[in-house]
Structure 1
Amino acid sequence: MSAKKTGLIFFPAFDWAISPTHPEREERLLYTRDQIFEEGVMDLPQIHEYAPRLASMHDISRTHFCVPRVQSQVTEAHLIAAGSTLQLGDSVINGEIKNGFAMVRPPGHHAMRVVHGNRGFCSINNEAILVEYLRRRHGIRKVAIVDSDAHHGDGTQDIFYHDPDVLFISFHQDGRTIFPGTGFTNELGGPGAYARTLNVPLPPGTADETFMYVVDNLVLPVVRDFQPEIIINSAGQDNHYTDPLGSMRFTARAYADFTRKLKPDLVVLEGGYAIETALPYINLAIILALAGADYSYVMEPDYWPGRFKESPERMSKVHKMVDQLLETWAKRDQVDLQKIFGTGKYYQRKKFIYYDTDYIEEEQLEKVCICPDCPGYILIESRGERNYREPIRIYAISVPFQACNACQNEAYEIYEQYKARAKYDYVYMQDKTTDTCMAFDKKKGQEWMTEG
């Protein structure tokens, strides 16, 4: 197979839906399928279609703490959506293809490290699972994730907030106007990964000109400076001007231009709910851009050049925000981190997380060990309550793959200590240095383990 090809996986998840009329349904991809066949895209010599495959339960537990266990939170459709990204990741790393597009559902970028249920239509995080898999299977270290969904990729941010080797950039509709209400410029990463998280909240009504300004003047320079081994685009398409859940004005042509400029190794579909008026055109344009083919003829029937005029005032504010973020990035290693994060052994933050799909309220305390030799292990106390039922309390420990021996040993000591405490229903250990995941069920007095 030629290394010049673009790999595609198409998985509409016919047997998975939140409800029959929910915006996140199989038609999101069926209209795209019709469009790309009608245009003869699948017959192009630059395109190779792969069959999807299943991710393993361990692929999920390497990334998430699913409560009480992975089988409780995922269906076969989730495993196939995640497994499809792994299939394309293998193919890119092995040189079979130059890049790939996983057109799959269910989406995943709102799924955080701890999973009590479904939020923002997401149960597990496909991109995060892919990153951890590439690290373990292929030795990849530095990864850039650029999230182009209208909704802030809060789950992906949460998972990599303390990871200095993952650059996460999200540009999205201002969280004051849309779910999940996060993604502001002061969210910059933890003490060991400061400025590896960059958020660009855009005002409603932002159109292509400002979109391209952010890409050209912030996204591309920072990604180049970071020098990742692999670039992943978390490709939400609800910034389109016809999307019913967003208030932005991006076009299919702009999405293609963004793809051509970013040159992602892997594109993973996230949101986008204008089933007929946006997704077929955006997906087609992205595929052509990835394949290096002409996409100049791709245009929505109701669009004409110059239809949307940018507000000079809003553009000025975005330009100023880009300048500030660039300065933050440039000075990231000169910052006095103790002034921001304190001088104690742990940096901690409280989080209140609402699962809008499953109506779960979660209270979480996250602590990261500040270590001079590695990013430090993470401790999480989490309490999840659904519809006034008895809350589930967990304690979770995550050891990063870059952890030093001292942090790894200390994390295991904490795991053993908390197994004996009656306060928690489940205690979890996730050791990425050895690719081992364990959990202890207090009520049953049982421990289970998965290994890669």
Structure 2
Amino acid sequence: MRNPKKLKAKNKVGLIFFPAFDWEISPTHPERKERLLYTRDQVFEEGLLDIEGILEFNPEIASAKEISRANICVPDVDSVASEPHKISAGGAIKAADLVLEGKVDKAFALVRPPGHHAHRVVHGARGFCNINNEAIMVESIRNKYPNKKIAFVDTDAHHADGTQEIFYHDPNVLHISLHQDGRTLFPGSGFVNELGGPTAYAKTLNIPLPPGCSDQGLLYVINEFVLPVLNDFQPDLIINAAGQDNHYSDPLTNMNISAKGYAKMNDLLDPDLAVLQGGYSIESALPYINVGLILAMAGLDYSSVEEPDYDPEILKEDQSLIKEIKETVAELKKIWKNRENKNLEEIYGDYSTFYSRDKSIFYDTAGINEKQSEKVRVCNQCQGYLIIDSKAGKSSFSSNQVMAVSIPKLVCDQCYQEAREKFDNLKNEYESVYLQDLKADEYLRN
């Protein structure tokens, strides 16, 4: 890189580092305390913080209320989230505040632990995630700016199932996930037919990519599908959930993306915010990917970013994979183009007042199985509210049942009254009932 002191960023970028050097799942686990050590060193070695316009900020600690806007923690926030989890979420909130307050043009939260596998109801750790830092960030934004339309583009190799489920019925959040095909990787979801609920049809879009996909396939999807969809949706904010385990050296996945490919992707997306998620090639990938992302967000040349073992010949795209990717994109284009003309009863069945669905959620990290029934109030005035019946435990004999009512910020008066009455009624029927009331910013457990 040229002398960083002579460079000036085109976009003012805020970096929020929280490497959590004192927290890990275990010393040999992929999500261990050294995970961001080499990234931190590389950022200093390249002199990125000496470039005019790239600034570092400290994270804050997310409060129980801020966490509860996205996650219903069972039995409570402190039982689910350690202080590092709260700081990781607080780092994401800090990134959003810096952009929304005009202190920077863009911000990148380089934080751990990650969060995108944490669903709305949380009984423990799954996919290395306890609470959903990016969802917590979005609900913090919308607590202050409730009318903002937000688009996620999650580029982690693992499907962003938690974030998807939190916003599955929300018409003001577009959630796009590009990931390794769920038939070959945890969490085994993220297929083209997962399109959001009847109140938010086609606001959830999944692009499952075949194992072996490299830069060519990834950038084809961005150019041919993601960018046109973003242009149609016209979000107020674009968030890159910047998972980095699509890299060719990652030990947990089977993808072939390079650091330069990541940087080019971010450059094309032009996100307002980025939040680190997965990525477990600690020395060979993360330092180079993160340098590339920072340079791309700053509007600076990233063409010299290259891993020591990078070999474009080895990473050439197999044409059979390109054919498969093009077929997936063509199917998704059809869905998006026809989204306004769909007969939703053909997709969701004969729903009238409520739409229901059942889910099985496995907490691979905590060893918990959850059976969940979710009902959304279908309303022509708002997105309705949720009633959740969750039973979870390490065995069927130790299952713990909780009921929850979740009310969105932009709810109509009739649905709001119904939801509060439902909460009061459930309290008389069940021992453990939670209220997540984003309209009143109130979070209760009986």
- What is aligned with 1:144? 151
Does the alignment pair 1:390 with 2:372? no
- What is aligned with 1:28? 35
* SS in structure 2 at match of 1:357: coil
The farther-off stretch of 331-340 and 304-313 is: 304-313
Counterparts of residues 274-289 of structure 1 (less than 5 Å): 274-289=281-296
Does the alignment pair 1:13 with 2:32? no
In 2, Cα distance between equivalents of 1:324 and 1:178: 22
In 2, Cα distance between equivalents of 1:33 and 1:234: 19
In 2, Cα distance between equivalents of 1:330 and 1:402: 27
Counterparts of residues 328-407 of structure 1 (less than 5 Å): 328-341=335-348, 342-387=350-395, 390-407=398-415
Does the alignment pair 1:410 with 2:418? yes
Question: What percent identity do the matched residue pairs reach?
Answer: 53
In 1, Cα distance between equivalents of 2:289 and 2:147: 30
In 2, Cα distance between equivalents of 1:58 and 1:3: 36
In 1, Cα distance between equivalents of 2:103 and 2:423: 42
Does the alignment pair 1:439 with 2:439? no
Q: 1:183 aligns with which of 176, 181, 190?
A: 190
Question: Which amino acid letter does the alignment assign opposite residue 359 of structure 2?
Answer: K
- TM-score, structure 1 as length reference: 0.95
Deviation track 1:324-367 (CA, whole Å, cap 9, x = no partner) reads 11111111111111222223321111101000000000000001
Question: Which amino acid letter does the alignment assign opposite residue 400 of structure 2?
Answer: I
Deviation track 1:122-161 (CA, whole Å, cap 9, x = no partner) reads 0011110011110112345200000000000000000000
* SS in structure 2 at match of 1:28: coil
The farther-off stretch of 301-310 and 260-269 is: 301-310
Deviation track 1:37-84 (CA, whole Å, cap 9, x = no partner) reads 111111111201001111110001111110011111011101110011
- TM-score, structure 2 as length reference: 0.96
Q: 1:77 aligns with which of 78, 84, 100?
A: 84
- What is aligned with 2:5? none
* SS in structure 2 at match of 1:411: helix
Quote the offset at 1:387 in angstroms.
4.9
Does the alignment pair 1:109 with 2:116? yes
The answer on whether the counterparts of 1:134 and 1:140 sit within 8 Å (CA) in structure 2 is no
Deviation track 1:405-451 (CA, whole Å, cap 9, x = no partner) reads 11010011111111011xx33101111112111111xxxxxxxxxxx
In 2, Cα distance between equivalents of 1:313 and 1:40: 41
Deviation track 1:225-273 (CA, whole Å, cap 9, x = no partner) reads 1000001111110000000000000000010001111011110000000
Q: 1:166 aligns with which of 170, 173, 177?
A: 173
Distance of aligned partners of 1:418 and 1:139 in 2 relative to their CA distance in 1, 3 Å threshold: closer
* SS in structure 2 at match of 1:96: coil
Does the alignment pair 1:219 with 2:235? no
* SS in structure 2 at match of 1:27: coil
Counterparts of residues 242-281 of structure 1 (less than 5 Å): 242-281=249-288
The answer on whether the counterparts of 1:140 and 1:229 sit within 8 Å (CA) in structure 2 is no
The answer on whether the counterparts of 1:93 and 1:138 sit within 8 Å (CA) in structure 2 is no
The answer on whether the counterparts of 1:366 and 1:378 sit within 8 Å (CA) in structure 2 is yes
Deviation track 1:163-217 (CA, whole Å, cap 9, x = no partner) reads 0000000010000100000000000000000000000111100011001000001
Coordinate RMSD, CA, aligned = 1.2
In 1, Cα distance between equivalents of 2:95 and 2:322: 37
In 2, Cα distance between equivalents of 1:315 and 1:305: 16
In 2, Cα distance between equivalents of 1:74 and 1:302: 38
* SS in structure 2 at match of 1:351: strand
* SS in structure 2 at match of 1:362: strand
In 1, Cα distance between equivalents of 2:11 and 2:269: 17
The answer on whether the counterparts of 2:171 and 2:383 sit within 8 Å (CA) in structure 1 is yes
In 1, Cα distance between equivalents of 2:441 and 2:59: 24
In 2, Cα distance between equivalents of 1:314 and 1:155: 27
Does the alignment pair 1:306 with 2:313? yes
In 1, Cα distance between equivalents of 2:193 and 2:396: 34
The answer on whether the counterparts of 1:431 and 1:437 sit within 8 Å (CA) in structure 2 is yes
In 1, Cα distance between equivalents of 2:188 and 2:311: 32
The answer on whether the counterparts of 1:429 and 1:438 sit within 8 Å (CA) in structure 2 is yes
The farther-off stretch of 97-106 and 387-396 is: 387-396
The answer on whether the counterparts of 1:239 and 1:246 sit within 8 Å (CA) in structure 2 is yes
- What is aligned with 2:104? 97
* SS in structure 2 at match of 1:379: strand
* SS in structure 1 at match of 2:206: strand
Q: 1:65 aligns with which of 64, 69, 72?
A: 72
Distance of aligned partners of 1:306 and 1:227 in 2 relative to their CA distance in 1, 3 Å threshold: same
Unaligned runs of 5+ residues in structure 1 are 441-452
In 1, Cα distance between equivalents of 2:356 and 2:370: 16
* SS in structure 2 at match of 1:200: strand
The farther-off stretch of 245-254 and 392-401 is: 392-401
Question: Which amino acid letter does the alignment assign opposite residue 413 of structure 1?
Answer: E
The answer on whether the counterparts of 2:292 and 2:305 sit within 8 Å (CA) in structure 1 is yes
- What is aligned with 1:124? 131
- What is aligned with 1:204? 211
The answer on whether the counterparts of 2:115 and 2:134 sit within 8 Å (CA) in structure 1 is yes
The answer on whether the counterparts of 2:92 and 2:134 sit within 8 Å (CA) in structure 1 is yes
Corresponding pairs, count: 437
Question: Which amino acid letter does the alignment assign opposite residue 307 of structure 1?
Answer: I
The answer on whether the counterparts of 1:359 and 1:387 sit within 8 Å (CA) in structure 2 is no
Question: Which amino acid letter does the alignment assign opposite residue 381 of structure 1?
Answer: D
* SS in structure 1 at match of 2:35: helix
